[in-house]
Chain A
Amino acid sequence: MFKYIIKRFFMAILTIWIIATLTFILMMSIPGSPFNDVSDKTSNEAVQENLEAHFNLDQPPVIQYVYYLKSIATFDFGPSIKKPNDTVNELLGRGFPISFELGILSIIVALISGIALGVLAALKHNKIIDYMAMTIAVLGISIPNFVLATLLIQQLAVNLNILPVATWKSPAHMVLPTIALATGPMAIIARLTRSSMLEVLTQDYIKMARAKGLSPYKVIIKHALKNALMPVVTILGTLLAGVLTGTFVIEKIFAIPGMGQYFVQSINERDYPVIMGTTVFYSAFLILMLFLVDITYGILDPRIKIHDEKGD
């Protein structure tokens, strides 16, 4: 187990290095620089040169790359070019907890409601409840979250006035963004749970569990659901990535002060340190999440062993 974690750790570093390098190449290849904003009256050539020198942008790309790798290695991405009062780490520290809260909340809501809906649909296979659940699922998959968000605001916040329109202050503020963000993943989870549950329910061990005279609750939760959740865990990693990046759009709509605004702005403004910082940070976070998902496999299914291969 320990060896496995070490191995995964080095794999993660390699992955982050590749992502960082690709990001760097992409940043270098897009035209423009942080200082050629025409609307900025104060900028003149002398000031611009000074600034470039300050952020090492006058150096050749190879040297910049070395500085860049150094900043990743020390987790110090330096100050933002466009927001001189903030360092990248401060931006992350301020924005990420909110984005994380929204993302995790949505994933939890999506998991619970998706699994419940899927199990219900499987148990009532080909009955009205099944059809209703699957209609909800299809709607959830096909309606983009920004459309749903707008509809929710229009109906629940503006017309009925029962929930706040925007921002991120109290639990009531969290309801609409969470629903908007959770619906897509919920629909995917519901469909997966349903089909995998239907398959598991025909297995011999379910019949065997019933032949033991166990209660339906035990047969479904203990014997069927644990096995049916494997595919859900598989896509959980991808869903997490989707939800965490999906927060950017939702944050914009609900005016939530999360990471999204900084990320999108930084790309438009060529704010190199912020682009680097957020990209590397998000990659590291996703790699960690995927690692947790892999560990969950081993817990759910004992046949999947997380162990050290012989001789390594």
Chain B
Amino acid sequence: MNKILEVNDLHVSFSTYGGEVKAVRGVSFDLYQGETLAIVGESGCGKSVTANSIIQLIPKPAGKISNGQILFKDQDITHYTERQMRNIRGVDISMIFQDPMTALNPTLTIGDQLTEGVRQHENLSLKDAKEKAIEMLNLVGIPNPEERLQQYPHQFSGGMRQRIVIAIALICEPDLLIADEPTTALDVTIQAQILELFEKIQEKTNVAIILITHDFGVVAKIADRIAVMYAGKIIESGLKKEIFYNPKHPYTKGLLHSIPRLDQKNEKLIPIDGTPPDLFSPPVGCPFTARCPHAMVACEKVYPLRHEESQSHYVDCWLYDERVKHITKINIKPKEEYK
């Protein structure tokens, strides 16, 4: 399989009036053709910033990639100029946004918004572009595409609009699709349809997908691999099976325990107490220390060494360090322990 994307030690920070916010602090992952990587985490953990910085759509000049490297098909695109990025955006890397109600321009027809990208990048004639647009609308399952091209976004339902957004993202046949919470704003029934559409498209075009979400239900359905982000770092990463059946990091366990389950009666949801750390001055040690039921003195002082559970599964946590066994008393906080 071809490696599409490689992100090495990515640091992204935003300068604000209050100081520098270190939103992403050393994220590394890679992605292969036809694969779906889900980046999971709660609000403000840096998952969207990671995605946006790949396509360089973080607000400038406030936000900048301060360190690290983004390799797209072995090309270093980290410091591409706007002009160079324009030839990548939409063509090689496409993006889908969270809210289809606001992602489409209300004053332009669907046809116009579908074709403008492909016309600019591939110099297609209006007629060819229109044919391609109809083909795409068929692919994403919009009936009567010829008529629909003349219509405006407000004449479509939310689910339909997200299908159109997906069609727009895919019309230039990109190699990488970044979907930033693509189903969050949709009804549950529509969510399932959209996820099935993603699967169908991936099967057909072999596009690699980065899925940004906080919804483990979505992850369970379409992800191949999962990266769990917390306070600007990937704290655990592995295959879907490994994360769901053998979560290692206390944070991942906490996340999985806070999802309602149908197969267990009267099970209380266990929330993770507290809030993520302030990214103006992120902690030097493990950022989860303050909320972690197993926190030790070392956790606060030094960022954990990576523990490799398997070839595809790693976790950044001191609990799995050899030396922990020799500590007689683990400082367990007086709080109900996670399983």
- Chain A partners chain B: yes
Binding site for B on A (CB under 8 A): 203-205, 207-216, 218, 222-223, 226-227, 300-303
For the complex, give the distance between the alpha carbons of A301 and B153 in Å. Answer: 11
For the complex, give the distance between the alpha carbons of A204 and B96 in Å. Answer: 10
Could you say which residues of chain A place their CB within 8 Å of the CB of B152?
302-303
Our pick among B57, B117, B154 for the contact of A214 (Cβ within 8 Å) is B117
Could you say which residues of chain A place their CB within 8 Å of the CB of B120?
212-215, 218
State how many angstroms separate the Cβ of A299 from the closest Cβ of chain B: 10
Please determine whether A210 and B89 come into contact, CB atoms closer than 8 angstroms.
yes
Our pick among B89, B99, B105, B108 for the contact of A213 (Cβ within 8 Å) is B89
A214-B116, A302-B106 known; A208+B168 contact, CB < 8 A: yes
Q: Which residues of B88-119 are within 8 A (CB) of A?
A: 88-91, 94-95, 97-99, 102-108, 116-117
For the complex, give the distance between the alpha carbons of A240 and B179 in Å. Answer: 47
In this assembly, does B121 line the interface, its C-beta being within 8 Å of a C-beta of chain A? yes
Please determine whether B106 and A208 come into contact, CB atoms closer than 8 angstroms.
no
State how many angstroms separate the Cβ of A150 from the closest Cβ of chain B: 43
Our pick among A212, A222, A223, A302 for the contact of B90 (Cβ within 8 Å) is A212
Please determine whether A213 and B106 come into contact, CB atoms closer than 8 angstroms.
no
Q: Can you name 28 A-B residue pairings with CB atoms under 8 Å?
A: A204-B98, A204-B103, A205-B105, A205-B106, A208-B105, A209-B105, A210-B57, A211-B57, A211-B90, A211-B95, A212-B116, A212-B117, A212-B168, A213-B86, A213-B121, A214-B90, A214-B117, A214-B120, A218-B120, A223-B105, A226-B107, A227-B105, A300-B107, A301-B106, A301-B107, A302-B107, A302-B152, A303-B152
In this assembly, does B66 line the interface, its C-beta being within 8 Å of a C-beta of chain A? no
Could you say which residues of chain A place their CB within 8 Å of the CB of B86?
213-215
Please determine whether B108 and A208 come into contact, CB atoms closer than 8 angstroms.
no
For the complex, give the distance between the alpha carbons of A34 and B87 in Å. Answer: 76
Our pick among B97, B107, B116 for the contact of A227 (Cβ within 8 Å) is B107
Could you say which residues of chain A place their CB within 8 Å of the CB of B87?
213
Please determine whether B95 and A204 come into contact, CB atoms closer than 8 angstroms.
no
Please determine whether B108 and A204 come into contact, CB atoms closer than 8 angstroms.
no
For the complex, give the distance between the alpha carbons of A226 and B90 in Å. Answer: 22
Binary per-residue interface labels of chain B (262-291) against chain A in the complex, 1 for a CB within 8 Å, 0 otherwise: 000000000000000000000000000000
For the complex, give the distance between the alpha carbons of A212 and B95 in Å. Answer: 8
State how many angstroms separate the Cβ of A214 from the closest Cβ of chain B: 6
Binary per-residue interface labels of chain B (152-194) against chain A in the complex, 1 for a CB within 8 Å, 0 otherwise: 1010000000000100110000000000000000000000000
Please determine whether A212 and B89 come into contact, CB atoms closer than 8 angstroms.
yes
Could you say which residues of chain B place their CB within 8 Å of the CB of A209?
105
Q: Which residue of A lies closest to B86 (CB)?
A: A213
For the complex, give the distance between the alpha carbons of A189 and B211 in Å. Answer: 42
State how many angstroms separate the Cβ of A210 from the closest Cβ of chain B: 6
For the complex, give the distance between the alpha carbons of A207 and B91 in Å. Answer: 15
Q: Which residue of B lies closest to A225 (CB)?
A: B107
A213-B120, A223-B105, A227-B107 known; A208+B91 contact, CB < 8 A: no
Could you say which residues of chain A place their CB within 8 Å of the CB of B117?
212-214
Could you say which residues of chain B place their CB within 8 Å of the CB of A218?
116, 120
Please determine whether A211 and B99 come into contact, CB atoms closer than 8 angstroms.
no
Q: Which residues of B302-330 are within 8 A (CB) of A?
A: none
Could you say which residues of chain B place their CB within 8 Å of the CB of A223?
105, 108
State the interface size on chain B (CB cutoff 8 A).
31
State how many angstroms separate the Cβ of B57 from the closest Cβ of chain A: 6
A contacts with B: majority SS = helix
State how many angstroms separate the Cβ of A243 from the closest Cβ of chain B: 27
Could you say which residues of chain A place their CB within 8 Å of the CB of B154?
302-303
State how many angstroms separate the Cβ of A204 from the closest Cβ of chain B: 4
Our pick among B91, B95, B104, B169 for the contact of A205 (Cβ within 8 Å) is B104
For the complex, give the distance between the alpha carbons of A3 and B117 in Å. Answer: 39
Could you say which residues of chain B place their CB within 8 Å of the CB of A302?
106-107, 152, 154
With a 10 A CB-CB cut-off, give which of A203, A207, A303 has the most chain B CB atoms: A207
Please determine whether B57 and A303 come into contact, CB atoms closer than 8 angstroms.
no
A218-B116, A302-B152 known; A205+B89 contact, CB < 8 A: no
A-B interface, 4 closest residue pairs, ranked by CB to CB distance from nearest? A213-B89, A213-B90, A212-B117, A212-B90
Could you say which residues of chain B place their CB within 8 Å of the CB of A208?
95, 97, 103-105, 165, 168
Please determine whether B102 and A205 come into contact, CB atoms closer than 8 angstroms.
yes
For the complex, give the distance between the alpha carbons of A198 and B89 in Å. Answer: 23
Could you say which residues of chain A place their CB within 8 Å of the CB of B89?
210-213
State how many angstroms separate the Cβ of B147 from the closest Cβ of chain A: 15
In this assembly, does B55 line the interface, its C-beta being within 8 Å of a C-beta of chain A? yes
For the complex, give the distance between the alpha carbons of A223 and B102 in Å. Answer: 13
For the complex, give the distance between the alpha carbons of A222 and B116 in Å. Answer: 11
For the complex, give the distance between the alpha carbons of A210 and B108 in Å. Answer: 15
Q: Which residues of B44-91 are within 8 A (CB) of A?
A: 55, 57, 82, 85-91
Q: Which residue of B lies closest to A203 (CB)?
A: B102
Our pick among A204, A213, A216, A222 for the contact of B97 (Cβ within 8 Å) is A204
State how many angstroms separate the Cβ of A122 from the closest Cβ of chain B: 15
State how many angstroms separate the Cβ of A201 from the closest Cβ of chain B: 10
With a 10 A CB-CB cut-off, give which of B82, B98, B102, B152 has the most chain A CB atoms: B102
State how many angstroms separate the Cβ of B44 from the closest Cβ of chain A: 18
Could you say which residues of chain A place their CB within 8 Å of the CB of B88?
213
With a 10 A CB-CB cut-off, give which of A203, A204, A208, A222 has the most chain B CB atoms: A208
State how many angstroms separate the Cβ of A4 from the closest Cβ of chain B: 20
Q: Which residue of A lies closest to B107 (CB)?
A: A226
For the complex, give the distance between the alpha carbons of A141 and B82 in Å. Answer: 37
Could you say which residues of chain A place their CB within 8 Å of the CB of B103?
204-205, 207-208
Binary per-residue interface labels of chain B (112-140) against chain A in the complex, 1 for a CB within 8 Å, 0 otherwise: 00001100110000000000000000000
